[in-house]
Chains A and B, each alone.
Chain A
């Protein structure tokens, strides 16, 4: 009798655990701009976790077209995906999609930016990422005996996310030394535009010792302009944001480079976290409104804990376990609404 009741307990427990933690069969992801390196790495992270969990994972690219994104969401619902993940082309445009998905009973997870009517979102904290990079730069300045940071901010004032990065960066430096923003530029987030605006700014005033870029292209563009102007690199510190691809790793691992800090946002880790969140949502687990994904100030001393890459600049591999172990905020220090 005892054996029978023990067996029954095991069967019931395993049935319950199976039903509680069953993985979704199919998950769809609509990326807003799939040709960007950041999103390719987010997709890699999503796909990697989906493969581990045995989930059929499909991707569609809205290519910055919100109407296309709406049609794709309908198509995914027709395909009966268990969970739909989306990076909104814009937050306003996905509101009707969320309404339709709710009526359809399809759970939706957003990436990047919140939207009215959403259940859950996975995204980095922009202010905190910038802050971590600023903190690292501040420490380097102090170690060099500097008392002032004269910053050229190759930013993107149009987007609140990138404004938050710049703000965090400046506020963190100010904790260590006097911080002055000499140039506040709009590099459009593109390397070529960044080179152009940074060149003009440096021609006007090159008395700076820190270049900050709101993404890799902006930081590298600022550095390229500095080099094109023939200015000495000894006292310069360059900090980028994103860890979007290989370009920053190639630069950071060069000898005597001024590119010392990267506010790493680990796009592959973002994808990995997002897939876990989608599975949790499917299983009815109580999910947070904003699942913060890890960020860290990456330097030449610690990058190998998180990335390995071939010097030919072709591929990089992320260490998902180490990224997952990075202490992460439960809430962002500042949001767009705080600006």
Chain B
């Protein structure tokens, strides 16, 4: 009995059970929900948020935060599409896009860690800088993908064997890599340590600044990967892309049990958070529930998740 209680008290197991309950509910409630096509659609749709959530969770575990990822999504898509249009090279566009992401991560990290400005404030400022730059550069008009490359189209829209979205495969591979890193490498354990108690980590001889800087770069680079998938799905670099995206990511990651205070949480949990929110959104859509209700529900979920996180921390 004690073991069962302990098992159920595990956050990931509890999330898994919640996910199953929601999944079974929608399977009975909607005739369209439980179909291979719909499940594959959802897996493709959620990959954008999943990849960014992995990066965001890594940074949160390291005790920092980046709320500029939504604007970054719109910003880094511009060099991607522009380079593709002008050089006809998708790969070059992708490389430069990720490079831009890495540079923004470095700037966020440098300002937060080396100048000691709160990462919340730095990335809030970056949110406005990037969005403003996007508006200025694009004149508030989307930049179309004029290359019409099948390769680029298929990144976000194609399916392996006509069934499994490539975007979902990209998301799963990235998730598995980072689960491995966070669980099985000293680098991952150090990120948990500096997020949990930076002072102890410092005394243990960890290079806190470098570790945190790397977490910022991971967060921005993975958001850039999300930007590539998004640009492919919408065939353009869109000036309003990623608007409020950061809040969707926060909701999913916090729901997944990653603590806002740092040092606690797993990427499996974060992924389950993404999965739960995506399934709820899709299921309500299948039931023809107004999307405004989804917004209300997401808000309630964020408050409940953060509330539980706070209670758990106080108890500990």
Contact = CB atoms under 8 A, between A and B. Distances in A.
A3 interface: no
Contact of B285 (A64, A67, A75, A92): A75
A70 B285 contact: no
B101 interface: no
Given A63-B291, A65-B243, A93 B234 contact: yes
Interface string B230-246: 10111110101101000
Interface string B277-295: 0000010011010111000
Contact of B233 (A34, A60, A70, A72): A70
Interface string B10-39: 000000000000000000000010010110
* Tier of interface size on chain A: 20 to 34
B290 A99 contact: no
Given A78-B32, A78-B38, A93 B235 contact: yes
A13 B163 CA distance: 42
A65 B233 CA distance: 12
B240 A64 contact: yes
A33 to B, nearest CB: 11
Contact of A75 (B238, B243, B286, B290): B286
B240 A66 contact: yes
A67 B230 contact: yes
A119 B292 CA distance: 30
Contacts of A92: 142-145, 234-236, 238
Given A75-B286, A79-B286, A93 B41 contact: no
Interface string B145-189: 100000001001100000000000000000000000000000000
A56 B54 CA distance: 40
A66 B238 contact: yes
Interface string A64-86: 11111011101100111000000
Among B38, B234, B241, B292: residue with most chain A CB under 10 A: B234
A106 to B, nearest CB: 13
Given A61-B291, A93-B142, A72 B285 contact: yes
A93 B236 contact: yes
A100 interface: yes
Contacts of A70: 233-234
B39 to A, nearest CB: 10
B234 to A, nearest CB: 4
A66 to B, nearest CB: 5
B274 to A, nearest CB: 14
A96 interface: yes
Given A65-B243, A78-B35, A78-B37, A95 B235 contact: yes
B118 interface: no
A61 B157 contact: no
Contacts of A80: 32
A61 B292 contact: yes
B41 A90 contact: no
A65 B241 CA distance: 7
Nearest to B31: A79
A58 B289 CA distance: 10
Nearest to B156: A96
Nearest to B153: A96
Nearest to B288: A58
A301 B290 CA distance: 39
Nearest to A69: B234
Interface in A81-117: 90-93, 95-96, 99-100
B48 interface: yes
Which of A66, A80, A91 has the most chain B CB atoms closer than 10 A to its own CB?
A: A66
B207 interface: no
Contacts of B233: 67, 70, 96
B288 A67 contact: no
B197 interface: no
B142 A60 contact: no
B140 interface: yes
21 contacts: A61-B290, A61-B291, A62-B291, A63-B291, A64-B243, A65-B243, A66-B241, A67-B48, A70-B234, A71-B41, A71-B282, A72-B285, A75-B41, A75-B282, A78-B35, A92-B234, A92-B238, A93-B235, A93-B236, A96-B232, A100-B157
Interface of A: 34, 58, 60-68, 70-72, 74-75, 78-80, 90-93, 95-96, 99-100, 158
Given A68-B291, A75-B41, A78-B38, 14 more contacts: A61-B291, A63-B291, A66-B238, A67-B48, A92-B143, A92-B234, A93-B234, A93-B235, A96-B156, A96-B157, A96-B234, A96-B235, A99-B157, A158-B140
